Amino acid sequence: MQAKAFMRVVLAALAIVIIIARSAQAQSVADFYKGKTVTMVVGGSPGGGNDALARALAGFIGKHIPGNPEIVVNDMPGAGGIVAMDYLFARAERDGTVFALVENNTPLEPLFGTEQARYDPTKFNWLGTPSTEVSLVLVWHTVPVNSLKDLKTRITTMGANGAHSAQAFDVRLLNETLGTRMKVVNGYKGQNDIFLAMERGEVDGFPNLYYSGLTSTRPNWLPQHLVKAILQYGPEKLKELPDVPFAPDLISKPEDRRLMQAALAPQALGRPLVMPPGVPAERVAAMRKALVGVFADPAFKSAAVKLGLIVNAPRTGEQLQDVIDQAYATPPSLLGRLRKLANP
């Protein structure tokens, strides 16, 4: 009887310890973030679409995170977004005080064999995205290109961050699958710099500008006919631009269609938000929940509309992880073509 009584006391004490531990854990996220400053790294330059979205998010997400930390935005452009990803993987704090809005090509760069991409996307903590993305091939209004046929017959210069940037990759993809003759002009620091180069006549256009990036940063360009949208490509065709040809519908060869489908995985990632590897699971879960709350927040959605931001198809961190896992299961024969496009 004494042994049984002792075991009952031990089990009761253990239950109390577990309850206290769980209660402490439930409080720990709020306790941790209270009074903290959380940095949102932006894998792009000031004035770009990611920068606009990040600054909009920064005004709302703090109230959805337990403890209500202050949010500051830190733009970190370079190498088509790879600089920011390398920072997150190798040098960023892993305690939950750093998260990022990154370029959606960057999770696929290691898969494509990009040497500069020295990180493992499967080890990051993916948080979510406000939408998927559709890319546009845009040319300045004075450029004598008005159709896909013109892109196939005229050498058209396109601004890019670098040889391994998403802009350069997409130019090579479209040239190979559609027979266009676009030519990359490298060396621009970010999206806004390419915009300025278009206005100055240094380049003819932008090969993969997200529609959401256009509406948030240059909302007057299409309505005022300052640019021409020649082609669109992504997970699905934009209802806002029904007359602009949709690249996946124009490819005749099945193997080329499969190639484009695999290559467009970044668009399915939308504008991905992510935390470094090794962040405590409860803080990752809190951040994922906070993003769900922000994307559903009527005040944020109203602000997004005013800024021209598109928040129309939120995806969770788990859904982003599924996209990445599927991409990394690409068949070797197809992967070879993708890597050749990524590393010409």
Residue 41 has pLDDT above 50, yes or no: yes
pLDDT band at 24 (very low <50, low <70, confident <90, very high): very low
Residue 21 lies in a domain: no
User: Do 158 and 260 share a domain, yes or no?
Assistant: yes
Residue 140 has pLDDT above 80, yes or no: yes
Residue 12 lies in a domain: no
User: Do 68 and 165 share a domain, yes or no?
Assistant: no
Q: Which residues pair with 213 in a beta bridge?
A: none
Mean pLDDT of the chain: 90
The helix or strand, by DSSP H or E, that contains position 191, with its residue range, turns out to be: helix 191-200
Q: How far apart are CA 206 and CA 244, in angstroms?
A: 15
pLDDT tens readout for residues 236-247 = 899 999 999 999
Residue 326 lies in a domain: yes
Q: Which two tokens stand for residue 201?
A: 């006549």
User: Do 40 and 94 share a domain, yes or no?
Assistant: yes
Task: Quote the strand ranges of 148-255, DSSP E.
Answer: 156-159, 182-185, 205-210, 227-233
Q: How far apart are CA 224 and CA 228, in angstroms?
A: 10
User: Do 160 and 244 share a domain, yes or no?
Assistant: yes
pLDDT confidence of residue 138: 98
List the domain range (segments joined by +) for residue 243.
135-266
pLDDT confidence of residue 10: 46
Average pLDDT of span 35-63: 94
pTM: 0.72
Q: How far is CA 6 from CA 9, 16, 19, 208, 293, in A?
A: 5, 15, 20, 70, 47
User: Do 115 and 154 share a domain, yes or no?
Assistant: no
Other C-beta atoms lying within 10 Å of the C-beta of residue 96: 23
pLDDT tens readout for residues 293-341 = 999 999 999 999 888 888 888 999 999 999 998 888 888 888 999 899 9
Q: Is the Cβ–Cβ distance between 273 and 99 less than 8 Å?
A: yes
pLDDT tens readout for residues 107-122 = 999 998 888 999 999 9
Q: For the domain that residue 201 is a member of, what is the CATH number?
A: 3.40.190.10
Q: How far apart are CA 237 and CA 315, in angstroms?
A: 18
pLDDT confidence of residue 79: 87
Residue 24 lies in a domain: no
Residue 19 has pLDDT above 50, yes or no: no
User: Do 47 and 156 share a domain, yes or no?
Assistant: no
Domain end among 241, 266, 291: 266
Report CA 107 to chain centroid distance, whole Å: 9
pLDDT tens readout for residues 254-266 = 999 989 988 988 8
Average pLDDT of span 71-92: 95
User: Do 253 and 140 share a domain, yes or no?
Assistant: yes
pLDDT band at 171 (very low <50, low <70, confident <90, very high): very high
**Count of structural domains within the chain:** 2
Q: How far apart are CA 12 and CA 157, in angstroms?
A: 73
Q: Distance between terminal CA atoms of the chain?
A: 79
User: Do 104 and 118 share a domain, yes or no?
Assistant: yes
User: Do 151 and 247 share a domain, yes or no?
Assistant: yes
Q: For the domain that residue 115 is a member of, what is the CATH number?
A: 3.40.190.150
Average pLDDT of span 122-130: 96
Domain end among 266, 284, 309: 266
Q: Is the Cβ–Cβ distance between 102 and 84 less than 8 Å?
A: yes
Helices of type H across 39-165: 49-58, 82-90, 148-153
pLDDT band at 17 (very low <50, low <70, confident <90, very high): very low
pLDDT confidence of residue 158: 98
Q: What percent of the chain has pLDDT over 70?
A: 92
Q: Which residues pair with 126 in a beta bridge?
A: 274
- Where do we find the tokens 């695999």? 262
Average pLDDT of span 159-175: 92
**DSSP helix/strand/coil, 159:** strand
pLDDT confidence of residue 187: 92
Report CA 336 to chain centroid distance, whole Å: 24
pLDDT confidence of residue 275: 98
Other C-beta atoms lying within 10 Å of the C-beta of residue 261: 15
Helix axes 49-58, 298-307, angle to 10 degrees: 150
Residue 262 lies in a domain: yes
User: Do 66 and 181 share a domain, yes or no?
Assistant: no
Residue 105 lies in a domain: yes
Residue 274 lies in a domain: yes
Domain end among 266, 299, 328: 266
Give the CA radius of gyration of the chain: 23
User: Do 227 and 148 share a domain, yes or no?
Assistant: yes
Strand order in the sheet with 205-210: 182-185, 156-159, 205-210, 135-140, 227-233
User: Do 165 and 275 share a domain, yes or no?
Assistant: no
Q: How far apart are CA 33 and CA 71, in angstroms?
A: 11
Q: Is the Cβ–Cβ distance between 191 and 236 less than 8 Å?
A: no
pLDDT confidence of residue 25: 47
pLDDT band at 42 (very low <50, low <70, confident <90, very high): very high
Residue 4 lies in a domain: no
